[in-house]
Every structure is written in C-alpha cells, then in structure tokens.
Structure 1
Amino acid sequence: MKSIYKITGLLLAFTLTFSSCDEQNLLDLNTDPNAVTDMDMAFLFSLATLRIGGEYENTRANMLYAATMIQHSSSLAGYFSGDKYFYNAQYSGAYMERHYTDVIKLYSHVIDKTKDSPEDANLNAAATVLRIYDLHRMTDLYGDIPYFQAGRGLEDEANWFPTYDNQKDIYFDMVDQLKAARDKFSPSAKGLGVQDFVYGGNLDQWKKFTNALLMRIAMRMSNKDAAKAREVFIEANNSGTFSSVADNGYIQYTTGPIGNNRNGLNDGYWNTYKYSQDCKISKTFIDWMKANNDPRLMIVSGGLGDPTASADTWNTDPAAQRGMPNGYNTQTLRTILSPSELAEFEALQPRGNRMFAMLNLKYLDWEDPYVLITYAETELMKAEASIKGWITTDANTHFRNGVSAAITSWVDFDPTFARSTAEINAYIDGRGFVAASDADKLRIIGEEYWAATWLNDIESWSNWRRTGYPVLTPTQDPNRFEANEIPRRLRYWEAEIGGNPANYEAARVRMGGDNLMTKMWWDGGN
C-alpha cells in the first residue's frame, strides 16, 4: 500500500509540474521544425483569387439557389433548392464554409504580411480590393457576418470566435477600405505581373475595378441611405471607372484542378456533375428574350435536345426555344402541360426535361472567364444614377452603352457569340427606353441588369432584392421552407450554431431571425 501511495504521489507531482510548464512548450510539441516558415505572398494572392470561382460553393449558392430563385434557370429536381424555396443546410451555408476558411483567410494573411512594405503596396491593395469584393458578396448573401475579425484566426485567439458585425457598419467600412486601397496602387511599387489573374498587373484597370465595386456598393445601399450612396457613387464615378468591355473584371482561368485553375461554376454546371442534365433555362427568361427579340437568345440557349449527343441533333431554331417553368417537379409539371406537350414529355422519358432549352455548352468550358463585374453593369448603374439626379451625364447614352456591352462581351466566351451592330441597335431601340417615363426607365434598367448578369446570379439576386426588377411571380410548391415568396437571404452555415454560439445568437436576434425571408439592412423590399 505504501508503494501505491508513493507512485501516486510521484504521478501527482509530475502532473502538477507538467501543468505548470509554460504553455508555449506544449504548443511547440506540435511544431514541425522542418516546416516552411515563409511563403510567397503573391502566390497566396493568386491562390485566393482562383478560389473565388471555386466549384463547391458556386454550384450551391450561385447555381442551385440564386440562379433558380431569380428565374434565370429552372429544374424539376428537388435538390435545386432555390427553384421551390427549399432549405438545404449544406447548400445554404456553403459560401460561408468555404470562403472564410479559404479565400478570406488567404487574403487577410497577405494583407497583414504586406501592410508595412512599400515595395508590396500593389499586392496589398489588390488583395484588399478582392477581399472586400468577397466579403461584399458574403454580407449580401447572409446579412450580418464576421467582418472585422474575418480570416484572422491564426493571428490571435481573440479571433477564434469572431463577432458578427452589423451590415451597415460593414458597408461603411467597405467604402473606406476600397478608397484606401485604390489610392495605394503605385507604379513605383513592385508589379503584380503574371500572378494577377484578373488584370495581369495593369494598375489603371485595378483602380477602375475598385471604383466599379464602390458604385455597386453605393447602389446597393441606396434605398436605405440615399445621401451616403449618392456621395460614394459620385466620388467613385469622378475617380474613373470602366470605359469599355476591355475593362471587364474577370478571373482568367485555364484548365486545371477543381477549385484552382479552372472555372468552378462551369465545372459544376457541366463538366463533372449531373446538374446540367437536371438544369434548364427558365421559361421566365426565355419568354422575356423572345418577347423583346433579344439577340442573346441563342447565346444563352444551346438549343433543344440531348446535350450529350452531337450538336447537329439539337434544335437551334430561335422560335422553337422553350423555357422550363419554375416551381414544378416531374409529377406537377404534367398538370400544366398541353396535351401535345405532355405527349412530348412522356416520349422523352426518363429525360422529359429535354423538351426545354438547355444551357449553351460554349460558355461552360473550364477555361472560360469567371465574371466579377463588367462595363455593362457600370453603365447601367450610371443610367440609373442619372435618372436619380446623382450625375449629369445622359441616361440614354449610358443605357445604350450598357446594353450593347452586355451583348458584345459574350465574345469573351466564344467567338461565335458575336452579334452585328445592326442587331444590337435594333434590340436597344426596340426596348423603348428613350421615350419611357423615369419610372419605366428604372424598370427597363432593372430588366437589362438581370439579363447582363446571367451566370453571375448572386449579383442578379441582390439587385432584384434592391429594385424589384424584373417583376417575378414566386413559385408555389406546398413543401417550401417558409413562404411562397422569393427568399431574401440564405441561412448561416449551421456549424456556427454550435461552434460560435454566442455571436451567432446575437446576430440572429439583431437581424430578427436566421431565416430565408429575414430582410437585411439594405433590403428595402419589393
């Protein structure tokens, strides 16, 4: 028994001694002395940029939710959650899950490591702009989000459980951050060069991009703080933004691993998964293009037929294109088809959806660009700003420039998408913008912005929530998650409920709920 007491006493003494050791000694046990301790910040910048267009979250947030909610695309499959306003935790939280741990973390590290280096001013500025770009999309998807502490968990344990910041505070800080970054770009600092997959090191274009993003942010808050929005928009516009389609903000991909050097959105739509088989162009979008004689009809649509079969078997007659109605499954769709349509649908089983227009494979290559923001968008925003009285330049000119650019930019995806000047002008004239009332002009601008942001559906959805255009009829599935209304946001990544409970709960209470129909700060409703 004495021996047992002695052993117990020794173990207790050892435990107390070990527990009193400096905590750093314990942490050092997990440190690999042979690990890399320094990393090329330009490499991390490039990696973060490529990951903005990653497959996982772009498939879920952009394609399965936003594109179908905004009625660009449609599906009979239930996993296309946005089509019928279902809730899927993995899909809804995907953007938070992937971008905080990948994109935001990488950009934050680059910014912090280069902030005191004049030589790296351009790298620091570009990383700041794209970090804000991604956080802007994040807050527009979810509302209040971790912002000021985002991506900095490795720096300090105080950031391990980040606070969810108020969206208004986020918006105002994004403006300040972007202006500071824009003014930091300098030809005397080290160039970005080939490690810049957006502009290849062209600093003038980076400044224009920053101002374009400021204009987008200004417009988004315009229903909530018109004075601040006007101030931000005018300053950005006067500082100089996109002047042609050559300034379009794209991530330029080639062919490489998923989520790295290939366009993940296109990979999700077509090259790897069944999604393209289950996804068709919405009847809302097809009908709108046909009604307006839109020359983009056979750019957006690849035709009717089997996308896995030879292209010469597809029906590419513009008049024959038929969009799929949103909000139906394989059973309920049968109830609204005409007898002849139903016969066609049954004859094509088990892929009856092939009677509807498919996405065009020519813009679904892995190496196609990933759209961030375009000249078309900035010109359409300027047309709106002119109508609002923020700027004095001509709204009609901006509108014509914007619509023309939205059509001509498609050649960046495939040369066969070129449309003649005569076709484009006829389409623009047919929209009747010049003779329209100011109220109707805002509607037309909203519709054209919707058309111009095809494939960039997170932006389409955000602008629709701000403006209410185009006017969309909500789907009516009885199994919808909350209401038969187009959702106003996505729900937070569910891991936050257990992993960061106090801050999650504070955000949920402040926003009035963590639901699909919870409105965020800038959402004036429609």
Structure 2
Amino acid sequence: MNAIRKITGLLLAVTLTFSSCDEQALFDMNIDPNAVTDMDMQYLFSLATLRIAGEYENTRANMLYAATMIQHTSSLAGYFSGDKYFYNAQYSGAYMERHYTDVIRLYSHVINKTEGNPAEANVHAAATVMRIFDLHRMTDLYGDIPYFQAGKGLEGEENWFPVYDQQRDIYYDMVDKLKAAREMFSNSARSIASQDFMYGGNIDQWKKFTNSLLMRIAMRMSNVDPQKAREVFVEANNSGAFTSNADNGTIQFTTGPFGVNRNGLNDGYWNTYKYSRDCKISKTFIDWMKDNNDPRLMIVSGGLGNPEADPSTWNTDPAAQRGMPNGYNSTTIRNVLTPAEVEEFTSPGVGNRMFSMLNLKYLDWEDPYWLISYAEVELMKAEAAVLGWISSDANTHFANGVAGAINAWVAFDPSFARSAEEINAYIAGRGFASASNQDKLRLIGEEYWAATWLNDIESWSNWRRTGFPILEPTQDPNRFEANEIPRRLRYWEAEIGANPENYEAARARIGGDFLMTKTWWDGGN
C-alpha cells in the first residue's frame, strides 16, 4: 500500500510539474496547424452576394408566395401557398431563416472586420450597401425585424437575442447608412474586382446602385412620410442613379461550387420537371400582355403543350397562349373552363400543360439574378415627375422605363431582342402622354409590375404601396386568414421559442403576426 501511495504521489507530482511548466503545449495540441486563422474579407463578401440568390428561400418566398400572390404565376398545387393564401410556416419564414444565419451574418462580419481601414474602404462600403439591400427586402417581407443587431452575434453575446426594431426607424437608418457608404467608395482603396459578382469592382456603378436603392426606399415611404420620401428621392436622383441597362443591378454567375454559384430561383421554377412543372403563367398576366399587344408575351411564355411526349403539341403562337387562373386546384379549375377545355384538361398527358409555361431560355443556372433595374429607376422617375418631385419629363421617363424593361431581356438570350419599331408602337399604344395624372400612376404601376417579372418580392412590395395593377383576390374556402392578397409574411416560427421576449414585443407592437397585418409604409388598397 505504501509503495502504491509513493508511485501515485510521484505521478501526481510529475503531472503538476508538467501542467505548470508546459500547460500551453497541451492547449496547442488542440490547434490544427493547417486551419485558417485569417481570411480575406473580400471572399466573404462575394460568398454573401452569391447566397442572396440561394434556391431555398427564393423558391419559397419569391416564387411560392410572392409570384403567385402578385398573379405573375399560378398553380393548381396546394404547396404554392401564395396562390390561395395558405400558410406554410417553413415557406413563410424561409427568408428570415436563411438570410439572418447566412447572408446578413457574412456581410455584418465583413463590415466589422474592415471598419476604419482605408485600404478596405470599397469592400466595407459594398458590404454595407448589400447588407442594407437584404435587410430592406427583409423588412418589406415581415415589417419590424432585428436590424441594428442583425448578424452581429460574433461581436458579443449582447447580440444573441436581437431586438425587433420598428420599420420606421429601420427605413431612416437605411437612408443614412447608404449615403455614408456611397461616399466611402474610393479609387485609392483596394479594388474588389476579383470578388465582385455584380460590377467587377467598378465603383461608379456601385454608387449608381446605391442611389437607385435609395430611390426605391424613398418611394416605399411616399404614403407615410412624403416630405422625407421626396427629400431622399431628389438627393439620390441628383447624385446619379442608373442611366442604361449597362448599370442593371444583377448578380452574375460563373462556373463554381454547385449550390452557391448559380441562380437559385431557377431551381423552383424549372428544376428537372420542365414541361410538367406545377408552376404556370397566370391568366392575369397573359391576358394583360395580350390585351396590350406587349412584345414580351413570347419572352415570358415559352409556349404550351407537351413537346417531350409529342412535339406536335408544342404551340408558340402568341394568339394561342393561355394563362392559368389563380386560386384553383385540379378539381375546382374545371368550374371555370369551357366543356371543350375540360375535355382537353382531362385528356391523358395534358392537364396543366394546356396552360402557358415559363420560357426555359431564362431558366438557366447561370442566368442573371435581378436586384434593381434601370427600367425600375426610370419608372420611379416617371412617378416622381407626375407627383411634382422632379422637373424632368414624365413621358420620357415612362418611355425609357418600358423600353429598358423590354431590352433588358437580351441579357438572358439574344433571341429576346425586340425591334425599336415594335417597342415604340407598344409604348405609344399605352397612351401615357394623354392620360390623366391618376391614370398615369396606374400605367406606371402596371409597367413596374411587368418589369419586375422574376423579381416578385419587389413586385409584391410595390403593389402593396400603389395598388397597381388592380388584382382580383382569389377565393379559396381554405385560405388561412382572408380572401385578400396578404400584406406580409409571418415571422420564422423558430423565433417564438428561440427569441421569445423580442418576438412577442414585435408581435404585439405591429398588431399581430398575421398575413394581413400591414407594415408601416403600406398605404393599403
């Protein structure tokens, strides 16, 4: 027993001696000498930018909800929740779930790590602008959201349970931060060219993008603070926004990792189903294009039929295009079809293929992902001119916006080019110049709706602000709250348990976490 005690004591002494003399060596054993200890913030900036176009949330928030609510697309399938105003927790909360933990966290980290470093002014400014862009989308989707503390969990535990900030405060701060970022871009700082998937490091275009985003934010405030909205819009316009399609704010994709470096929106619209995909073009949109002789009809529509099974059924005649009515399922759709159409619908291999499908030519993984366009900027200027905010000619801005929207399609496929004569005839046919001011606002709203095809979160937001185009809500008896187009999406349900105090404060403040709860800027219609 004494021998055992002596040996135990000796081992304890050796252990204590080793611990006191070489404790750091023990810690060092847990450090991977090959692990990355520092990272170029430009890499994280480019990663965050690519992930804005992620397929998970774009399939859910942009397509399953926004595109069908705004009646760009339609579906008989119940999982297209926006078509009949159903509630799906995963789809509704998808943008919060993915972007707070990914996109906004990455941008926030870049901003934090480059703060006060003149050499990194460009990546700091660009990350600030894009963080605001994404949070602007976020607050337009949900209303009050975590903003000031968003994505800052790595900076301190005080940010682990972020407060939901009021949308009004968010909007005013976005304006201030965008102006500050715009002035930070510098030719003397390190270029972000190699990591910039939007403008290749061209800071003049980044400044135009920033001013264009400021104009969008200003317009969104126009119903609740018109004086501030006008002030912000005029300043951004005078500072220089987009002047042509060459400035369009799109994410450009290259060959890269599968699942990151690709347009994720196209996974939901096309995937591997192609001609049998559940999603079709809405009757509302098809009829509007046909009624107005819109040259985009056979850009938006690829055709109808089933060319995989029988090529002879594929029909690309503009006059034959047929949109799917919103608000129906495979049974109730028969109530609004003629007897001949019912017979066609129930024929083997037909079904929803009797309705116009999206054009596969803009559904490639490498196609551009839209953020803001020159067409939108010109249409916003047209509205500002009608409102008396700016002195330039509303007719010119309207024509520029419509032409810009049509001409922008060549970025997807050269076959989408339309002649100047065709475009000018369409613009003249809209009758903008002779319309009343109220009718001018309607025409601007309709063209904005058409110009934001594929960018349906923006389509939905602008519709909520303006009420244009005038849409007839669907009437499904199983709708979640009301047979009215929703005014927001519900928060990510994980927040109820993960951040309960701040979630509950926000829910109570906005008047309930409902689809029909209006956001601060929502003018209603």
TM-score bracket, shorter-length normalisation: over 0.9
Q: d(CA) in 2 for partners of 1:366 and 1:268?
A: 11
- State the match for 2:165 in structure 1: 165
Residue 382 of structure 1 pairs with residue 409 of structure 2: no
TM-score with structure 2 setting the length: 0.93
Between stretches 501-510 and 30-39, larger displacement belongs to 30-39
Q: d(CA) in 2 for partners of 1:259 and 1:320?
A: 37
Task: Give CA deviations for 1:51-96 in whole Å, capped at 9, x if unaligned.
Answer: 0000000000000000000000000000000000000000000000
Q: CA deviation at 1:343?
A: 0.7
- State the match for 2:306 in structure 1: 306
Is the 1:119–1:189 contact (alpha carbons within 8 Å) kept by the matching residues of 2?
yes
- State the match for 1:14 in structure 2: none
Q: CA deviation at 1:29?
A: 11
Query: Which secondary structure does the structure 2 equivalent of 1:444 belong to?
Result: helix
- State the match for 1:404 in structure 2: 403
- State the match for 2:16 in structure 1: none
Matched letter for residue 461 of structure 1: W
- State the match for 1:470 in structure 2: 469
- State the match for 2:332 in structure 1: 332
Q: d(CA) in 2 for partners of 1:207 and 1:263?
A: 24
Q: CA deviation at 1:335?
A: 1.2
- State the match for 2:511 in structure 1: 512
Q: CA deviation at 1:274?
A: 7.6
Q: CA deviation at 1:463?
A: 0.1
- State the match for 1:431 in structure 2: 430
Q: d(CA) in 1 for partners of 2:211 and 2:523?
A: 24
Q: CA 1:29–1:157 in structure 2 vs 1: closer, same or farther (change >3 Å)?
A: farther
Q: CA 1:309–1:411 in structure 2 vs 1: closer, same or farther (change >3 Å)?
A: farther
Q: CA 1:130–1:85 in structure 2 vs 1: closer, same or farther (change >3 Å)?
A: same
Q: d(CA) in 2 for partners of 1:347 and 1:148?
A: 56
Matched letter for residue 161 of structure 2: F
Identity of aligned residues (%): 79
Q: CA deviation at 1:276?
A: 6.5
Residue 343 of structure 1 pairs with residue 343 of structure 2: yes
Is the 1:148–1:165 contact (alpha carbons within 8 Å) kept by the matching residues of 2?
yes
Matched letter for residue 513 of structure 1: G
- State the match for 1:372 in structure 2: 371
User: How is 1:77-88 mapped onto 2 (pairs within 5 angstroms)?
Assistant: 77-88=77-88
Is the 1:254–1:368 contact (alpha carbons within 8 Å) kept by the matching residues of 2?
no
Q: d(CA) in 2 for partners of 1:274 and 1:39?
A: 40
Query: Which secondary structure does the structure 2 equivalent of 1:409 belong to?
Result: helix
- State the match for 1:107 in structure 2: 107
Q: CA 1:313–1:486 in structure 2 vs 1: closer, same or farther (change >3 Å)?
A: same
Query: Which secondary structure does the structure 1 equivalent of 2:330 belong to?
Result: coil
Task: Give CA deviations for 1:381-413 in whole Å, capped at 9, x if unaligned.
Answer: 000000000000000000000000000000000
Q: d(CA) in 2 for partners of 1:371 and 1:377?
A: 11
Query: Which secondary structure does the structure 1 equivalent of 2:406 belong to?
Result: helix
Query: Which secondary structure does the structure 2 equivalent of 1:238 belong to?
Result: helix
Q: d(CA) in 1 for partners of 2:230 and 2:307?
A: 46
Q: Mark the runs of 5 or more structure 1 residues left unpaired by the alignment.
A: 1-24
Q: CA deviation at 1:255?
A: 4.4
Matched letter for residue 73 of structure 1: T
Is the 1:266–1:364 contact (alpha carbons within 8 Å) kept by the matching residues of 2?
yes
Is the 1:254–1:366 contact (alpha carbons within 8 Å) kept by the matching residues of 2?
no
Query: Which secondary structure does the structure 1 equivalent of 2:180 belong to?
Result: helix
Q: CA deviation at 1:134?
A: 0.3
Is the 1:286–1:297 contact (alpha carbons within 8 Å) kept by the matching residues of 2?
yes
Query: Which secondary structure does the structure 2 equivalent of 1:451 belong to?
Result: helix
Q: CA deviation at 1:348?
A: 4.0
Please give the root-mean-square deviation of Cα atoms over the aligned residues, in Å.
Answer: 1.6
Between stretches 248-257 and 404-413, larger displacement belongs to 248-257
Q: CA deviation at 1:104?
A: 0.2
Is the 1:307–1:358 contact (alpha carbons within 8 Å) kept by the matching residues of 2?
no
Is the 1:269–1:275 contact (alpha carbons within 8 Å) kept by the matching residues of 2?
no
Q: CA deviation at 1:480?
A: 0.2
Is the 2:276–2:353 contact (alpha carbons within 8 Å) kept by the matching residues of 1?
no
Is the 1:255–1:366 contact (alpha carbons within 8 Å) kept by the matching residues of 2?
no
Q: CA deviation at 1:254?
A: 2.8
**Corresponding pairs, count:** 499
Matched letter for residue 201 of structure 2: G
Is the 2:275–2:353 contact (alpha carbons within 8 Å) kept by the matching residues of 1?
no
Matched letter for residue 343 of structure 1: E
